[in-house]
Copies of this chain bind each other. A is one copy, B any other.
Amino acid sequence: MAAPAPTTLHPFDQAIALELQPDGHWLGHTSPAYANMVGPYGGITAAQMLNAVLLHPQRLGDPLALTVNYAAGVADGPFVLQARPARTNRSTQHWVIELLQDGQSVATATAITAKRRQTWSSDEQTPPAGPPPSEVATLESAGLLAWLGCYEMKPIKGTMPTRWDGLGQDSLSQLWVRDKPARRLDFAALSALADVFFPRIFLRRAKRVPAGTVSMTVYFHADASQLEEVGAGYLLAQASAQAFRHGFFDQTAQLWSEDGALLVTTQQVVYYKE
């Protein structure tokens, strides 16, 4: 009898892995695969925090809403996650989450999980028209920030400027995107994908300035069966800013399936300098 084939965890699953501690908290580690300029990619931190809820033995239902507040840079190495169900109702549950390093709060979050029901449903925000993934070139990520190697990105519109001449017009980006290597979509992966856009101010100004996400909110419109249907397919991702003011701008974004179903709407507020 042949030995079983060695199984290797997907880099995303390695990155969000958490170990239950005797006190009910979770121990995690930053992942070199998702390293950003300084510290980890914000999307992987969001996924790690959500995973503390997903793995929790008292969880009711699937993620509906997640807000992650990036209070300080996450240092490379271990971290502790505390996830507390503040309130459990019949069909919704409210979570308070905190990520700590050396006993200091590094990120706070709240999440809501909910049982979904069959109801009248309709998407009002339909996907923008554009070419299918097969007709769009994939971004070459070699030599770029590590986390960019974890996503297959096919920029359609509003790509990273190639000329930093300060002559940007607007902040609208559209791209096809999925995990690299391809991976079946789930709620944790969606929460990370919500942060996949480069800072809107780079595009609006065609100027590189220091920028970093301060808070991100994700609404999960898809339920588990809809994510199963998406499988490892591409998502159509769109983002734009509404206002840049006094050191902070916002980003509002949508993620659709290839079939045009709106899976996630998300917004974030981002610090910038100059």
Query: What residues of chain A have their CB less than 8 Å away from a CB belonging to chain B?
Result: 64-65, 67, 69, 71-72, 86-87, 89, 92, 94, 96, 98, 104-106, 108-110, 112, 114, 116-125, 170-171, 204-205, 214-215, 217, 219, 221-223, 240-248, 250, 252, 254, 262, 265, 267, 269, 271-274
Contact = CB atoms under 8 A, between A and B. Distances in A.
Contacts of A104: 87
Contact of A215 (B65, B119, B267): B65
B64 A269 contact: yes
A262 B243 CA distance: 7
Number of copies: 2
**Interface of chain A: mostly helix, strand, loop or mixed:** strand
Contacts of A241: 124
B214 A120 contact: no
19 contacts: A64-B215, A71-B94, A86-B105, A114-B214, A116-B248, A119-B244, A119-B246, A119-B247, A120-B205, A122-B243, A123-B242, A219-B267, A219-B269, A221-B246, A221-B248, A221-B250, A223-B245, A242-B262, A267-B267
Given A114-B248, A221-B246, A221-B250, 18 more contacts: A64-B215, A65-B69, A71-B86, A72-B87, A72-B89, A87-B108, A94-B108, A112-B269, A119-B244, A119-B273, A121-B243, A123-B242, A124-B171, A125-B242, A219-B269, A223-B246, A250-B265, A252-B252
B248 A214 contact: no
Nearest to A86: B105
A244 B105 CA distance: 35
B223 A124 contact: no
A125 B118 CA distance: 35
Contacts of A92: 71, 214, 271
Contacts of A223: 245-246
A244 B124 contact: yes
A243 B69 contact: no
A214 B74 CA distance: 29
